[in-house]
Chain A
Amino acid sequence: MPPADRDAVYKEITPIFRSVFGNETLQLSYQLSAKDVAQWDSLSYINLIVAIEMRLGIKFGMGEIAGLANVGELVDVILKKLRKT
């Protein structure tokens, strides 16, 4: 994926969210977090992170895996990583 802007990242990860959580109509927003999505638990969250890593060819660090509060922060981290590569 080319050096990306925020919208491109949202576009890229939305289908991953939808597949992982089994929710075809899920809309991502900056504030969206575990409490908003019924299927978002610790297990599916790890699947989500791993699926994003595989799709985008990036790797999250320990602190990033544990410390993300919502989708917006996740996108921030992804953007940072994509710009470095």
Chain B
Amino acid sequence: MTNNLYWLPKSPEFEKALKESTHFRGDPEKNIKALSLLANHDLDLVSTATLDRQLQQWRKDTPEFEPKTRHLKLALLSSATVDHLIASIRVGCLRREILVDVYTGAFNQYRQEIFNPSSGLYRFQPDVIVLMRHAQDAGLKMPPTTPIEMARRTLDQQVNETVSLWQAIARESGAVIVQSTIVIPPEVLLGHADAIWPAAPANLLRVFNEALKQKAPENKVLVFDQDWLASSVGKRLWCDTRWWHHAKQDVPPGLGPLWGDHVARILAAIRGNSKKCLVLDLDNTLWGGVIGDDGLDGIVLGQGNGAGEAYQSFQMYTRELRQRGVILAVCSKNEAATARLPFEKHPEMVLKLDDISCFVANWQDKATNVRRIASELNIGLDSLVFVDDNPAERELIRQSIPEVAVLELPEDPAAFTAALSDSGYFEAIRLTPDDRLRTEQYVANAKRTQLADQMTNLDDFLKSLQMTVEAGPFDETSLPRVAQLINKSKQYNLTTRRYTEAQVRLMLQSPDLLTLQARLQDRFGDNGLISVIIARQITESQQPAMVIDTWLMSCRVLGRQVEQQLLNVLVGLARARGAVYLRGDYIPTAKNGMVADHYPRLGFEPVTPAPKSKQTADSTSWILDLRRFDRIKTHIQVKAMERVTRNDDATS
């Protein structure tokens, strides 16, 4: 890592652009977007401070304009001075469209604050608390001749003290705790032999760091590995002690922007704002040369050539990213077959077609193709990182899709891996087993979409998916996911009625309620729980009937005939209860326009006039006569859901 943000473009016109952003003063949303775009440049200390002043002005001007989702409160507790770093944290967060309030507390008073439940720290109600210690303050200063047993005892005490700080915080606050490792100064006493001398000062700090790292996960504490960051920048540069002596600053001011970006990337990862997908160009990015001109034998890749090895090692890094959960996509201006050739035929290719979840090679402009990749993978444009050696393509993406992160790729392929790693776009707070699974799911999704592209006939496509829907009443196991869907679904949701998990649990015991959950499997995998229906038994005009209270579905399975097949299931269940008709309501919201014709599409007739009891003036009511209903033909098999009987089912 160098000491700046070199993976972001330079901003030669910074001052001018900053001035222009004030033109948006009357439009807070545009104004903050402009500032955020500016933050996405390689800013130095002074530009960062200047931008921060503008940001603070914006916040003063628009106190009410703050969607909660992008607001975050950070407490930074350190044994050193951190005031000079706050601007860098705020700008680092602005870069990720997070607005952060920073609390620092009094200098070196953090222990008192942590143990005092009514301290300013807790009154601030932080979302995240970062704990940092300077090497001088680790309580590990002892004569180098101290017997190792005694040194170990002191070490244990210090580690336990830190753990007790974590525990005290956990008692008083729900904040996420982030513990920084101590930056170990590079000075030695023996020289190389410090490495094998247990009581050497650097070794004590190293053991201390290791102990904290080990204890962090079991205490639900995240790690900010400042010692790693300092090492990768260079300890001599990092441990510029002038600022410590002058002002008790342990992070040199010049490194503030980089340091702040690292804090911000951890905060973004906590928020779940990290990137998910790496979009790769091919020619001169994954190999040297142009496959369309140079051919399979002409491109530079692999052993025997320095540049060729550099490209190969970049491929290895991207494959490792994939293995840990990052989705890979290709976006290339090429004939599709030509672009695939190296993946299929070149012996030195590390990446295989299987590694690429979405492969787009054509002559369209890259902005169109990047949008297509996001939609095929069904992920947001803001989860993409675009890597391309061509500055013009990078500029096109920056201008036309500002949500996409565009890596300022160095010219030298030997520097590609470092730039991608240093950028921190894929920062994750831990490796979860889901990461790999998620990649598989996205691959499956993309394969389904590709299949749809190939098939001209929708019927053939649906048939080829080999779908099975598994349907059954809610049960204890599915409750959390059912409740989540009920509270989250906005688009394919007929009535948008929200129920808490506790309310849903009560439904299990209501004999007049019919509950239905459905999972969908296809040849590409399990889509999970994708639809929820709740219907109530009533008697209307002396006829037994069922009113559909809730019908919602995940948009991932749109256009797959799931709703048709579930109607078949629902009708069967309603008939079994003696119902002669089904009634359903559509309550429009800002988001659910896509289901306005849900009921008519399924063969329901309009109820006129609409029952007076109904919610809003523009809601509609629909009815289906079960005596005249014929099963709708679909390409989905139905399977009854196996009741998972668990011990806690019996007691509830």
B253 near A47 with CB under 8 A, answer: yes
Cβ proximity bits A28-53 to B, threshold 8 Å, 1 near / 0 not:
00000000000000111011001101
B242 near A62 with CB under 8 A, answer: yes
Report the minimum CB–CB distance from A53 to chain B (whole Å).
7
B83 near A16 with CB under 8 A, answer: no
Q: Per DSSP, are chain A's interface residues mostly helix, strand or loop, or mixed? A: helix
A46 near B246 with CB under 8 A, answer: yes
A43 near B246 with CB under 8 A, answer: no
B83 near A54 with CB under 8 A, answer: no
* Chain B, range 218-245, C-beta contacts under 8 Å to A: 242-243, 245
Chain A contacts for B252, CB-based, 8 A: 50
B45 near A22 with CB under 8 A, answer: no
Chain A contacts for B15, CB-based, 8 A: 19
* Chain B, range 23-74, C-beta contacts under 8 Å to A: 44-47, 49-50, 53
B254 near A53 with CB under 8 A, answer: yes
A54 near B254 with CB under 8 A, answer: yes
Given A19-B15, A22-B53, A43-B84, the answer on whether A50 and B246 have CB atoms closer than 8 Å is no
A62 near B246 with CB under 8 A, answer: yes
B254 near A50 with CB under 8 A, answer: yes
B46 near A51 with CB under 8 A, answer: yes
Is there a chain A Cβ closer than 8 Å to B249's Cβ? yes
Given A46-B84, A62-B246, A65-B246, the answer on whether A20 and B254 have CB atoms closer than 8 Å is no
What is the CA–CA distance of A44 and B256 in the complex, to the nearest angstrom? 13
Is there a chain A Cβ closer than 8 Å to B142's Cβ? no
A51 near B45 with CB under 8 A, answer: yes
What is the CA–CA distance of A53 and B44 in the complex, to the nearest angstrom? 12
Q: Give the total number of A-B pairs whose CB atoms are below 8 A apart.
A: 43
Residue of B nearest to A65 (CB): B246
A46 near B247 with CB under 8 A, answer: yes
Report the minimum CB–CB distance from A30 to chain B (whole Å).
23
Interface residues on A, range: 10 to 19
- B contacts with A, residue count (CB < 8 A): 19
Is there a chain B Cβ closer than 8 Å to A66's Cβ? yes
Chain A contacts for B245, CB-based, 8 A: 62
Cβ proximity bits A3-28 to B, threshold 8 Å, 1 near / 0 not:
00000000000001001101000000
A19 near B247 with CB under 8 A, answer: no
A43 near B83 with CB under 8 A, answer: yes
What is the CA–CA distance of A30 and B348 in the complex, to the nearest angstrom? 65
Residue of B nearest to A53 (CB): B254
Given A19-B15, A53-B254, A54-B44, the answer on whether A47 and B49 have CB atoms closer than 8 Å is yes
B46 near A42 with CB under 8 A, answer: no
A46 near B253 with CB under 8 A, answer: yes
Report the minimum CB–CB distance from A61 to chain B (whole Å).
8
Report the minimum CB–CB distance from A83 to chain B (whole Å).
22
Chain A contacts for B254, CB-based, 8 A: 50, 53-54
What is the CA–CA distance of A66 and B44 in the complex, to the nearest angstrom? 23
Report the minimum CB–CB distance from B95 to chain A (whole Å).
20
Report the minimum CB–CB distance from B9 to chain A (whole Å).
19
Chain B contacts for A61, CB-based, 8 A: 242
A22 near B249 with CB under 8 A, answer: no
Contact of A46 among B44, B47, B243 (CB under 8 A): B243
B46 near A20 with CB under 8 A, answer: yes
Residue of A nearest to B243 (CB): A46
Chain B contacts for A46, CB-based, 8 A: 84, 243, 246-247, 249, 253
Chain B contacts for A47, CB-based, 8 A: 45-46, 49, 84, 253
Given A43-B84, A50-B254, the answer on whether A19 and B246 have CB atoms closer than 8 Å is no
Residue of A nearest to B48 (CB): A47
Chain B contacts for A42, CB-based, 8 A: 247
What is the CA–CA distance of A65 and B245 in the complex, to the nearest angstrom? 11
Given A19-B50, A22-B53, the answer on whether A51 and B246 have CB atoms closer than 8 Å is no
With most chain A CB atoms within 10 A of its CB, the pick from B45, B46, B47, B245 is: B46
Chain A contacts for B247, CB-based, 8 A: 42, 46
Chain A contacts for B246, CB-based, 8 A: 46, 62, 65-66
What is the CA–CA distance of A15 and B97 in the complex, to the nearest angstrom? 29
* Chain B, range 234-278, C-beta contacts under 8 Å to A: 242-243, 245-247, 249, 252-254
A65 near B242 with CB under 8 A, answer: yes
- Given contacts A46-B243, A66-B246, 16 further A-B pairs with CB under 8 A are A19-B47, A19-B50, A22-B50, A42-B247, A44-B49, A46-B247, A46-B249, A47-B49, A50-B45, A50-B252, A50-B254, A53-B254, A54-B45, A54-B254, A61-B242, A62-B245
16 A-B residue contacts at CB 8 Å?
A16-B46, A42-B247, A44-B49, A46-B84, A46-B243, A46-B249, A46-B253, A47-B45, A47-B49, A50-B254, A51-B45, A53-B254, A54-B254, A62-B242, A65-B246, A66-B246
Q: Which residues of A contact B (CB under 8 A)?
A: 16, 19-20, 22, 42-44, 46-47, 50-51, 53-54, 60-62, 65-66
Q: Which residues of B contact A (CB under 8 A)?
A: 15, 44-47, 49-50, 53, 83-84, 242-243, 245-247, 249, 252-254
Q: Would you list the 9 A-B pairs with minimal beta carbon distance, nearest first?
A: A50-B253, A19-B46, A51-B46, A50-B254, A46-B253, A65-B246, A43-B84, A20-B46, A22-B53
